[in-house]
Structure 1
Amino acid sequence: MREVMTKTMARNVFYGGSLFFVVIFLILSAHSVRYIVTESTASVELTDSVAAGKHVWERNACINCHTLMGEGAYFAPELQNVMARWGVEDAPEDAFDVLKGWMDSQPSGVEGRRQMPQFNLSDEEVRDLANFFLWVNKINAQDWPPNDAG
């Protein structure tokens, strides 16, 4: 083997390596998209109410305190599995009632406890948010959160 690399050899290594990694990138991207579409999300059950609940989540900046599938601030509990923790993941009307009661009781005023602000959401906004949490609860989060408490 030669001790000196010529310009042609360097160019061939560059183009060959670049082509190899572009092909690997495209294969991994296709695999990720296929996984997300077919296995990860519950996209079949995505409704206008779920989308509206996501807008309520964003409009009120809930992610500034809570996490959703590990994304967000760690000031307040993880909410990916909140409906399962409350035991209402299969009952949309119960999910609305529990979430409405929780939201109406805030701030709780318990001494020494972090306080959630009162957002004064309408019943429709709370219902949309509950539907969003029900939908998020059905996503295959690959064992996230690591414990049931969120």
Structure 2
Amino acid sequence: APELGNVWTRWGGQDDRDGARETLRSWMAAQPSGVEGRRQMPQFNLTDEEINDLADFLEWTSKIKTQNWPPNEAG
């Protein structure tokens, strides 16, 4: 599974909140991508409200002090 613990910061949410939300929306819509060897998520068919709730959660978790975990940006 993809590393989601730091996805908000990797997608620039701290500087461009709307851009990170749109990236999340597009990425979720494209899953699974079918590209072999890539980390994939199943297609959850989330509603816009659920995607917004997920974005809120990822933004909130991005502010937690994780003692430098994960050890690298990709997890």
TM-score of the two chains, using structure 1 as the length reference: 0.45
SS of equivalent to 1:95: helix
Q: Name the aligned partner's letter for residue 70 of structure 2.
A: P
- Whole-Å Cα distance in 2 between the matches of residues 127 and 97 of structure 1? 10
Deviations 1:20-75 (A, max 9, x none): xxxxxxxxxxxxxxxxxxxxxxxxxxxxxxxxxxxxxxxxxxxxxxxxxxxxxxxx
Q: For 1:142, which of 54, 67, 72 is the aligned residue?
A: 67
8 A contact 1:92–1:131 mirrored in 2: no
Give aligned-pair identity as a percent: 63
- Whole-Å Cα distance in 2 between the matches of residues 112 and 139 of structure 1? 30
Total equivalences in the alignment: 75
8 A contact 1:92–1:130 mirrored in 2: no
User: Greater CA radius of gyration, 1 or 2?
Assistant: 1
Displacement of 1:92 in angstroms is 2.7
Do the aligned partners of residues 112 and 140 (structure 1) sit closer, same or farther apart at CA in structure 2, a change above 3 Å counting?
closer
Q: Name the aligned partner's letter for residue 127 of structure 1.
A: N
Match for residue 47 of structure 2?
Answer: 122
Match for residue 2 of structure 2?
Answer: 77
Q: Name the aligned partner's letter for residue 137 of structure 1.
A: S
Structure 1's consecutive aligned runs of 4 or more residues displaced over 6 angstroms after TM superposition are none
- Whole-Å Cα distance in 1 between the matches of residues 36 and 71 of structure 2? 29
8 A contact 2:2–2:40 mirrored in 1: no
SS of equivalent to 2:24: helix
SS of equivalent to 1:78: coil
Q: Name the aligned partner's letter for residue 6 of structure 2.
A: N
Superposed counterparts of 1:1-150, under 5 Å: 76-150=1-75
What is the CA RMSD across the aligned residues, in angstroms?
1.6
- Whole-Å Cα distance in 1 between the matches of residues 6 and 55 of structure 2? 12
Q: Which structure is higher in helix share?
A: 1
Give structure 2 stretches of 5+ with no counterpart. Answer: none
- Whole-Å Cα distance in 1 between the matches of residues 5 and 40 of structure 2? 20
